[in-house]
Structures are given as structure tokens and as C-alpha cells.
Amino acid sequence: MLNLLINDLGEGTECTLSKVADDTKLEGVADTPEGCAAIQQNQGRLESWSQKNLMKFNKGKSRVLHLGRNNPMHQYKLGADLLQSISVERMDTLGVLMDNKLTMSQQCAPAAKKAIDILGYIKWNVTSRSREVLLPLYTALVRLHLEYCVQFWDSHFKKDEELLKTVQ
């Protein structure tokens, strides 16, 4: 196993650069043509760094998530290749789905499904139906899926709230 510490990856970049494990995210404000150009210039700096250090970026994993209503939806490049635009991204550090409208609705359905699956498992494998047995199981195994990162993806729509309430 080889571990590398890469401290100079972000040197000279004007945008925010997040490095977690083997992922690197470049973030910037693109509400003006100058902002779009700055992001592309920083993207170019990262590409130059990778060539100089003989470390290639996985272009298949490189994507652009455009946020905000007035986003100009600029096409960015990594080297000569255009980067794919996406509408939803899983935030690796939190495991939360974020869409380009920042609504988090796509987080509710998987959380509810996982909780319902666990409730089914409890129903089929636990013979006792007493409150003393079921409440600790619900608290330990089900509720955590409904509350995970709720401060971050708090439901904004009535349909999402109703979906999560059906599990309870």
C-alpha cells in the first residue's frame, strides 16, 4: 500500500478545492463570465499539475453540478474533454444526495425505503410485539435512517414530509 500526501495540488487556485481521500472537488461562483473563466482556469491548473506529477484525473468521474437559478450553465473542460453536466450528486463526505435546485427531495425516498425495509425485517424476525421490545429496535435501527443529516436535507415539500411520516 502506498499513501501519498498531496499538499501542493491547490497552489495558485482561486476557487475552493476540497480534497477527501481520492476525490478532489473544485468549487466556485459562476454567476458572471469572469467567474466561469476563473473556474475553467483553475480546472486547467489542476490538469497541468496532474500532468507534471504524472497523476491522471479520472475523467469518467469528473462532472459538473450547476447550482442556482441564474447559473449560466457554462461548459467546462478537463484537458480537451468536455465535462458532463449532472442534475444530482451524492456528497461523498455526508452520503447525502444534492440536486441542482438544492431541494433534497431525492434524499427522502431512499431514506424511507431503507427504513421500511428494516421495519419489514423486524416484523418477520421478531416475534414479540410488545412496546418494550419494538421501541428500542425502532430507535436503534429505523429512526437513524430517517434522521441522518436531517439538518442538511430538511424536507421542503409536503409530499416529502408525508412520505417520512408514513414510515413512523
Higher pLDDT, 52 or 92: 52
3-state secondary structure the chain: CCCCCCCCCCCCCCCEEEEECCEEEEECCCCCHHHHHHHHHHHHHHHHHHHHCCCCCCCCCCEEECCCCCCCCCCCEECCEECEEECEEEECCCCEEEECCCCCHHHHHHHHHHHHHHHHHHHHHCCCCCHHHHHHHHHHHHHHHHHCCHHHHCCCCHHHHHHHHHHC
pLDDT in tens, 11-36: 767 777 777 767 777 788 888 888 88
pLDDT in tens, 101-151: 776 667 777 888 888 999 999 999 999 999 999 999 998 998 887 776 565
Q: What is the pTM of this model?
A: 0.59
Question: What integer is the mean pLDDT of 72-80?
Answer: 85
Question: How high is the mean pLDDT of the chain?
Answer: 79
